[in-house]
Amino acid sequence: MQSTIGKTTLRLVTGDVAEQDTDAVVTAAHWRLNKGTGTDGTIHTKGGPHIYEECRRIGGCPIGDAVITTGGNLRARHVIHAVGPVWRGGDEHELLASAYRRSLEVAVRHRLRSVSFPSISTGAFAYPLRRAAPIALRTIIAFLQQEQHDIGEVRVVLYTREDDKAYRVFAAALERILSERITDAAAEPRAAPDPAT
C-alpha cells in the first residue's frame, strides 16, 4: 500500500527492515545503544561490528530521540537508532511520536532521500500495535507535510513473522488517516467570491 504525501511516497511493505535499500534504515534501539533483540539484533547481526563500534562511541540516546551511524554491511548507507518508550499503560504516546519525528529530522540533517522504519516499540517494548500504528503514521505524515525536506520515499516495513497482524493494522490505520484528510479538505470553508468581479 502506498500514498503520496506532498512530494514523498509513503509506502507500507512487509519484510525485514535490515534488508531495505533506502539511504537509511531505522532500528528500534535501547537507550544504551547496546545490541537489542528483534529488529535491533537483526540490524547489528547483518550490519556487522562497525555499527556497534559507533554506538559505543556515541554512548547512549535519550528515549524519544535518535542518532545515526554507518550502515556497515547493510544495503542502507546509514542506520538511525530511534529509542522508543517501553509501554507502561498509556502516557508514552508523545515519546513514541518523538522517536519517529527525530528520526526524520536526523535524516534531513544528513541529506538523506529515503528512509525505512520498523514499527518502533511494538516488539520487546510491548507497545500495543493498534495504538502505535496511528501515532507512527500521523507523525510521519505531519512531518512530510509541514517540514522542509528532500525525502522522496518513506517505507514502513512490517515484519509479519513477528506479528502477522502488523501489515493489516498499519494499512487500516493509514486508510483511516487518509480518509480523514480528504474529509477535512472537503470541509474547509471556501473563500467568498469578490463582489467586485
Long-range contacts, 124-131 (Cβ 8 Å, 24+): 124/36, 124/37, 124/38, 125/28, 125/84, 125/85, 125/86, 125/87, 126/86, 126/87, 127/84, 127/85, 127/86, 127/87, 127/92, 127/96, 128/87, 129/163, 129/165, 129/166, 129/169, 130/169, 130/173, 131/93
163 has catalytic annotation: no
Distance of CA 125 to the CA centre of its chain: 16
Burial of 113 (0-12, 13-18, 19+ CB in 10 A): middle
What ranges make up the beta strands (E) of 100-172?
Answer: 114-117, 153-158
Q: Please tell me which residue in 40, 91, 163, 184 is annotated as part of the active site.
A: 40
Catalytic residue set: 40
